[in-house]
Structure 1
């Protein structure tokens, strides 16, 4: 019976054949232990010299790290194993011998590991992070599909900047200038006017020269957009979605979270509703905490967000930011022209902003005015303005950064571990 490591619990006391790589090994004169991985999981294979042919035991003793094998053995329960099972091996067939594998069980520097990212992905820790990432993606599709959203794919090549920023990667689109998308939001607004509730999931690019542990040049965004949804309801969807994703990871990635040493008690508390603090109150709070460098009208940096988040044991919404520091398309507060109906969701434990969202301007005249005030080309945004010309409605949306969310839920320090092949300020290899 051929099986994957993840399937072994179904075959207790039965013989199976597993294709695997040797993650590690140790042996004595009478017994050998092979740490096996096959992509679906990790399991220990135990080979007792007296129970196998001499050549099988010698193969097990001499086999090298990351060599590929077919292993035949009987599945047994093992309470000492994190996986809960082990394989009592009766035969080892060598497929390919790996020599001088560069990533050994010893400690390696970050730059070395990043240079060997194509191999580092094989490690137990990186495997666990990627499984958590996969579960977040799976739960995302499940949540939005179950709540009546339609998946829509916005373009990656665009002719303009969605947020009017200059931090874009420019390219030539035949005779025209084009940019790699930094957000699919404007296109998702068009899709919402056609399909009601929509979401996208795809890569985005920011030419931001930042080296912090929270930043990537290329990252993935989940961007829902909803017609007939105003500010408060938008926040409710966000907290329900984040709660759903966290609880799904807790349910389906217990072994991975244990591998990562994650304190799951901090995740078990992540259920809606989430606390909220206005930008005004956040400024007052920061002044009370000794942050004299921040004034009303300034955007928050990482230290400010962390200080605010530390006062809560759940993600916290910071709402109603000043109009002048937010993009042109955000709906003004009905009673205050100086702030907009927006919110950033700040993750606990110093992981920073994971969601930015707002109610969008639905009045044609006001949006035209904002385009002019931000010195944007009306012709470039003509199609976007037309969404308000033909049956405009109140609508809202948000964007969740996948990698920051993976970092927070899995408990890893740097976002470079949360994407298979990170693109950083000085890294385009491998």
Structure 2
């Protein structure tokens, strides 16, 4: 019976055949232990000299790392195995012999591993991270479908900047100027005016010359937008969504979290509702914690976010930032127009902002004023202004960065390990 490692529990006591690669091996005299992987998981194959032909035993001992095989054996329970099973091997068919695989079991430097990212993905730790990433993506679709959201795909090539910044990748679009999208939000607002509740999931690009462990040049965003929705209602959706993601990973990726040595008790605490702290109180808290130079009106950096997060044991919303340090489309607080109805969700353990969201300006005159203040002239933003002209309604939305969220939930230090082929400031290979 041909099967895969992730379904091995269905065949206890039965003989199966698996197509696999040799991740590692060790042998001692009359027995060889093969660490096998097939893309769905890892399992140990035990080759006893007494149970196989001399030819098969010598093949087992001579197999090289990452050689591919069809391997046949009996599935047996083994409590010592993380999987709970191992394979008592009866036959090996060599498909391809790998020679001098560059990533050996010894320690390698990060740059070396990044140069061989196409091969590094095969390792147990990287496999676990990608499985958790996949689970978060699956849970995202589940959550928003259950909540009545429609999936809408915004364009990647745009004629304008979502947040009016200069950190854009410029390209020629035939005889026009174009940019790689830094956010699908503006288009999702248009979709929300057509469908009520929508979300997108796709790649975004920031030409930001940053080398921190939190930044990528190309990354993936989940961006919901909701018509007839207040800022507070949006915050409720956000915290329920993040709680759902964590719960889904805990339920479906226990083995992967174990491989990554993630503290699951910390994750079990992540349940809505989350704490909320205003920007004003965050400034006071930072001063109490020794950040005496921070002044009202300044944006928070990584050390500030970490200090605030450390004050709580779960994610925390920082709300009502000054309007001058936030995007042009954010709605001012009606009782205090110098701040906007927005929030950043800061993950604990030093992972920083994973969500940014706000109520959006729905008043045509105020949006026209914002256009003038930010010099958003010409036809590029005309369509966005028309959303306030034809049937404007209160609406709100947010964006969650997938890679930062994967890093936080899986406990990985650097976001470069949370995407299959990271694009960094000085890395476009492989």
Q: Distance in 2 between matches of 1:124 and 1:371?
A: 50
Shift of 1:378: 4.6
Q: Please name the residue that 1:145 is paired with.
A: 145
Matched, 1:257 2:273: no
For residue 185 of structure 1, what is the aligned residue in structure 2?
185
Asked whether the equivalents of residues 67 and 95 of structure 1 are also in contact (C-alpha less than 8 Å), the reply is yes
Matches within 5 A, 1:15-414: 15-414=15-414
Give SS of 2:262's match.
Answer: coil
Alpha-carbon distance, 1:379 to partner: 2.6
User: What corresponds to 1:13 in structure 2?
Assistant: 13
> Partners in 1 of 2:80 and 2:426 — Cα distance?
43
SS at match of 1:114: helix
Alpha-carbon offset, residue 144 of structure 1: 0.3
SS of the residue corresponding to residue 20 of structure 1 reads strand
Q: Distance in 1 between matches of 2:401 and 2:52?
A: 52
For 1:386 and 1:64, how far apart are their aligned partners in 2? Answer: 64
Deviation at 1:293, TM superposition (A): 2.2
Q: What is the CA-CA distance between 1:100 and the residue it aligns to?
A: 0.3
Partner Cα separation in structure 2 for residue 119 and residue 424 of structure 1: 18
- What CA distance in whole angstroms lies between the structure 2 residues aligned with 1:292 and 1:126? 40
Distance 1:131 1:379 in 2: 43
Q: Secondary structure at the match of 2:208?
A: coil
TM-superposition CA deviations, 1:21-55 (whole Å, max 9, x none): 00000011110000000000000000110011110
Deviations 1:340-371 (A, max 9, x none): 00000000000000000000000000001001
**TM-score, normalized by length of structure 2?**
1.00
Aligned partners of 2:404 and 2:293: how far apart in 1? 26
Runs of 4+ in structure 1 over 6 Å off? none
Could you give the per-residue CA deviations for residues 312-335 of structure 1, whole angstroms, max 9, x where no partner exists?
111000000000000000000010
Q: Give yes or no for contact 1:372–1:378 (8 Å, CA) kept in 2.
A: no
Q: Distance in 2 between matches of 1:234 and 1:276?
A: 13
Residue 16 of structure 1 aligns to a residue whose secondary structure is strand
Structure-2 separation of matches of 1:126 and 1:22? 16
Task: Return the alpha-carbon distance in structure 2 between the equivalents of residues 287 and 312 of structure 1.
Answer: 16
CA distance in 2, matches of 1:329, 1:206: 19
Provide the C-alpha distance between the structure 2 equivalents of 1:140 and 1:350, rounded to a whole number of angstroms: 23
Unpaired runs of 5+ in structure 1?
none
1:210, 1:311 → 2: CA distance?
26
In the other structure, the counterpart of 2:422 is 422
Contact 1:406 1:418 in 2 (8 A): yes
Give the superposition deviation at 1:270: 0.4
Stretch deviating more after TM superposition (352-361 or 373-382): 373-382
SS in 1 for 2:303: helix
Does the CA contact (< 8 Å) of 1:15 and 1:74 recur in 2? yes
Q: What is the CA-CA distance between 1:122 and the residue it aligns to?
A: 0.2
Residue 164 of structure 1 aligns to a residue in which SS?
A: coil
Question: Equivalents in 2 of 1:34, 1:107: separation in Å?
Answer: 20
**Aligned partner of residue 35 in structure 1, secondary structure:** strand
Alpha-carbon contact 1:346-1:353 (below 8 Å) kept = yes
Deviation at 1:377, TM superposition (A): 1.3
Query: SS where residue 99 of structure 1 aligns?
Result: coil
Structure 1 residue 376: Cα displacement: 1.3
